[in-house]
Amino acid sequence: MAATQMSSTRCVIWFGNPGAREKVMLAADGWHVRTVLPQQPADIGMRGGDTVVGLIDFRTSSDSELERIGKLTAEHQHMPLFAITPANDGSHATPQHPLLAACRQQFPHPPDLKELLRGLQGLSNEVPRAASDDVLDTLLGESEVMLVMRATLRKYAPVDLPVLITGETGTGKEVAAHALHRLSARGGKPFQAINCGAIPSTLIQSELFGHERGAFTGASSRRLGLFETAHNGSVFLDEIGDLPLDAQTSLLRVLQEGTIERVGSNQPIAVDVRILAATHVDLERAVEEGRFRRDLYYRLNVLRLAMPPLRKRDGDIELLSRQFLRNFRTRHPTRARGYTHEARQAMERFPWPGNVRELLNRVQRAAITAEGELISSADLELNLPADGAQLSKARSHAERETLLSCLQQSQYNISACARLMKVSRVTIYRMCRKHQLELEALR
Ligand X SMILES: Nc1ncnc2c1ncn2[C@@H]1O[C@H](COP(=O)(O)OP(=O)(O)OP(=O)(O)O)[C@@H](O)[C@H]1O
Rounded CA separation 326/363 (Å): 10
Choices 26-34, 78-86, 168-176, 227-235; region in contact with ligand X by CB under 6 A: 168-176
Using CA atoms in the order 255, 152, 12, 143, what is the torsion angle rounded to 10 degrees? 170
Choices 27-35, 152-160, 165-173, 366-374; region in contact with ligand X by CB under 6 A: 165-173
Residue 399 interface partner, choices Mg ion, ligand X, none, CB cut-off 5-8 Å depending on type: none
Rounded CA separation 234/356 (Å): 24
Rounded CA separation 397/401 (Å): 6
Residue 124 interface partner, choices Mg ion, ligand X, none, CB cut-off 5-8 Å depending on type: none
Residue 121: burial class (beta carbons within 10 Å; 0-12, 13-18, 19+): middle
Residue 159 interface partner, choices ligand X, Mg ion, none, CB cut-off 5-8 Å depending on type: none
Q: Which is nearer to ligand X, 296 or 359 (CB)?
A: 359
Q: Which is nearer to ligand X, 326 or 395 (CB)?
A: 326
Q: Which is nearer to ligand X, 172 or 210 (CB)?
A: 172
Please name which of 106, 91, 133 lies closest in space to residue 12, comparing C-alpha atoms.
106
**Min CB(324)–ligand X separation in Å:** 8
Q: Which residue, judged by CB position, is nearest to ligand X in the bound state?
A: 172
**Beta partners for residue 399, in sequence order:** none
328 touches 362 (CB < 8 A): no
Rounded CA separation 425/197 (Å): 6
To the nearest 10 degrees (0 to 180), the angle between helices 388-409 and 414-421 is 130
Rounded CA separation 298/164 (Å): 10
Show the binding pattern over residues 148-177: x = contacts Mg ion (CB under 5 A), - = does not: -------------------------xx---
What letter would DSSP give residue 362? Answer: H
**Min CB(331)–ligand X separation in Å:** 14
What letter would DSSP give residue 38? Answer: T
Residue 110 interface partner, choices ligand X, Mg ion, none, CB cut-off 5-8 Å depending on type: none
Asked if residue 167 binds ligand X (CB under 6 A), the reply is yes
Show the binding pattern over residues 136-155: x = contacts ligand X (CB under 6 A), - = does not: ---xxx--------------
Chosen residue from 173, 262, 291, 344 binding ligand X by CB under 6 A: 173
SS3 330: helix
List binders of ligand X among 174-193 (CB under 6 A).
174-175
Using CA atoms in the order 179, 182, 185, 188, what is the torsion angle rounded to 10 degrees? 160
Residue 38 interface partner, choices ligand X, Mg ion, none, CB cut-off 5-8 Å depending on type: none
To the nearest 10 degrees (0 to 180), the angle between helices 414-421 and 425-434 is 100
Rounded CA separation 165/148 (Å): 14
Asked if residue 358 binds Mg ion (CB under 5 A), the reply is no
Chosen residue from 189, 357, 430, 435 binding ligand X by CB under 6 A: 357
- The single-letter code of the amino acid at 155 is K
Choices 126-134, 233-241, 365-373, 421-429; region in contact with Mg ion by CB under 5 A: 233-241
Asked if residue 170 binds ligand X (CB under 6 A), the reply is yes
Chosen residue from 162, 172, 187, 210 binding ligand X by CB under 6 A: 172
Residue 172 interface partner, choices ligand X, Mg ion, none, CB cut-off 5-8 Å depending on type: ligand X
**Min CB(424)–ligand X separation in Å:** 8
SS3 104: coil
Using CA atoms in the order 352, 170, 277, 280, what is the torsion angle rounded to 10 degrees? 40
Choices 13-21, 109-117, 150-158, 352-360; region in contact with ligand X by CB under 6 A: 352-360
Please name which of 371, 300, 307 lies closest in space to residue 334, comparing C-alpha atoms.
371
**Min CB(133)–ligand X separation in Å:** 14
42: left (phi over 0), alpha (psi -120 to 50) or beta: beta
Residue 233 interface partner, choices Mg ion, ligand X, none, CB cut-off 5-8 Å depending on type: none
176 touches 304 (CB < 8 A): no
Show the binding pattern over residues 1-20: x = contacts ligand X (CB under 6 A), - = does not: --------------------
Q: Which is nearer to Mg ion, 84 or 418 (CB)?
A: 418
**Min CB(238)–Mg ion separation in Å:** 5
Q: Would you tell me which residues interact with Mg ion (CB under 5 A)?
A: 173-174, 238
Q: Would you tell me which residues interact with ligand X (CB under 6 A)?
A: 139-141, 167, 169-175, 238, 280, 356-357, 360
